[in-house]
Amino acid sequence: MKGGIRLSSLVLEEYSQLLVDGIKNKPGVMSSPIWLLANPKYSAARRHIWTPILEEIQDKVYRKFQARIDSEKIYIKNVASDIGIVSNSRNCGVKERTKEILMFRKIVCECQPKIIITFGNITYEYVRRVFELRSEDGPQYWSSTNLGDEFERSIADFDINRINVIPIHCRVMKSGKLFEDPNYYCGSEMENYFHDIGSKIADRIIENKDSLKIWIE
Kind of pairing between the strands at 34-38 and 75-78? parallel
pLDDT by 10-residue block (mean), the chain, 217 residues? 47 35 56 90 76 95 96 86 48 65 89 93 86 68 81 96 91 45 52 90 97 93
Distances (CA, A) of 112 to 6, 7, 62, 107, 159: 9, 8, 26, 8, 13
Sign of the CA dihedral running 169, 173, 74, 53: negative
Phi and psi at residue 71, to the nearest 5°: -65, -25
pLDDT digit string (tens) for 95-117? 666 788 888 899 999 999 999 99
Distances (CA, A) of 100 to 17, 86, 107: 12, 10, 11
Per CATH, the number for 17-209 is: 3.40.470
42 vs 200: CA distance, rounded Å: 25
What does the pLDDT read at residue 10? 39
CA atoms within 13 A on the CB side of 118: 25
What does the pLDDT read at residue 56? 96
CA atoms within 13 A on the CB side of 64: 17
CB-based contact 153:165 (threshold 8 Å): no
